[in-house]
Amino acid sequence: MKIAILPGDGIGPEIMAQAVKVLNVLGEQFEMETADVGGAGYAAHGHPLPPATLALAKSADAVLFGAVGDFKYDTLERSLRPEQAILGLRRELALFANLRPAILYPELAGASTLKPEVVSGLDILIIRELTGDIYFGKPRGVRECPDGPFKGEREGFDTMRYAETEIRRIAHVAFQAAQKRSKRVTSVDKANVLETFQFWRDIVTDVHKEYPDIELDHMYVDNAAMQLVRAPKKFDVMVTGNMFGDILSDCAAMLTGSIGMLPSASLDASNKGLYEPSHGSAPDIAGKGIANPLATILSAAMMLRFSLNKVEQADRIENAVKKVLAQGLRTADIFEAGTTKVGTEEMGNAVVKSLG
């Protein structure tokens, strides 16, 4: 089995090194190949998603991705910015289903900004459509405003759109995920204002007919944002479009107090996938050896579970992480009084040790 290892920028290489270490001690025969991506891709090959990196990602059974982005690339033209790497991989590999779990580990209840009773036991799964919507819709750009009070001025514009197939397939992913959980799906839209999302609601409602065992409700995105902070445990599986999912998943992640803990999976129709931590490249702490590697290690576990069919190994890693937390080991982002502060490498080593 071949795994493409794409560490990227900022803390990416540091956290990836820990995940690779964990994969190496499982006793499995993985072929791991590393390539530059993001700012690192631009620096070495002149493009954030160099052709060789894309070819490797396409040929691999799964991709483990670190993070991309750094202040020093912010002034590049859009097509060369590090973010284009992840957007390009999603598009080129057709990774339309993004699974973003937000789980509160009991040991970390104190790390949330919300009251412990509001978040304790939190376990939600946000399913974000990842290759459509206003992120990829065309046309887009800056043009002369064609009409209305600002006619003749320059205007920026993007296109929000969803094809029926795109909505159907993500709805199936959500209902099937719910069948393995508490059998409830909340579809989040803006059907009161947007044509695209009235259509979304109609199609999700239609797909639901195939899943009589699942309870479906619909919620407007503004209300969903409010409910996520007010009573997040009411949710189980949430399914939504690309942009709403981007925003709501950051919000949900922070309910757990620790975006440094959360993995994610981006899957295509055959469950080939790209796995990455939910957090970014954190260039401000890069190279300091203090970043939390657990989201990347847990992403490797998700990869074993969903793409490589190594469910027992995935369980082993997840249990090792729980054990390390129970031992009181904490990186700086989740540190509280009474626990033991460790660096990136020590945390990785502790997980390796707990694997037995």
Catalytic residues: 135, 190, 222, 246, 250
Q: Which does 83 bind (CB under 5 to 8 A by kind): Mn ion, ligand IPM, none?
A: ligand IPM
Judge whether 39 and 69 are in contact, CB under 8 Å: yes
C-alpha distance from residue 341 to each of 37, 280, 292, 337, 338 (Å): 31, 21, 11, 9, 9
Judge whether 57 and 6 are in contact, CB under 8 Å: yes
Q: What is the DSSP string of 308-319?
A: S--HHHHHHHHH
Shortest spacing between CB 245 and Mn ion, in angstroms = 9
Examine residue 134 and tell whether it contacts ligand IPM (CB under 6 A).
Answer: no
Shortest spacing between CB 247 and Mn ion, in angstroms = 8
* Contact residue for Mn ion among 215, 246, 318, 346 (CB under 5 A): 246
Q: Which amino acids are annotated as binding site for Mg(2+), given as ranges?
A: 222, 246, 250
Examine residue 89 and tell whether it contacts ligand IPM (CB under 6 A).
Answer: no
* Contact residue for ligand IPM among 158, 215, 246, 268 (CB under 6 A): 246
Closest CB to ligand IPM among residues 83, 155: 83
Backbone angles phi, psi at 270, to 5 degrees: -105, 15
* Contact residue for ligand IPM among 1, 32, 80, 87 (CB under 6 A): 87
Count of residues binding Mn ion (CB under 5 A)?
1
Residue 116: CB atoms within 10 A of its CB come to 12
Residue pointed to by tokens 């973010």: 83
* Contact residue for ligand IPM among 37, 57, 63, 86 (CB under 6 A): 86
Residue 195: CB atoms within 10 A of its CB come to 11
Examine residue 318 and tell whether it contacts Mn ion (CB under 5 A).
Answer: no
Judge whether 128 and 102 are in contact, CB under 8 Å: no
| Nearest of 107, 106, 26, 29 to residue 317 by alpha carbon | 26
Examine residue 247 and tell whether it contacts ligand IPM (CB under 6 A).
Answer: no
Closest CB to ligand IPM among residues 62, 95: 95
List interacting residues with ligand IPM (CB under 6 A): 83, 86-87, 246
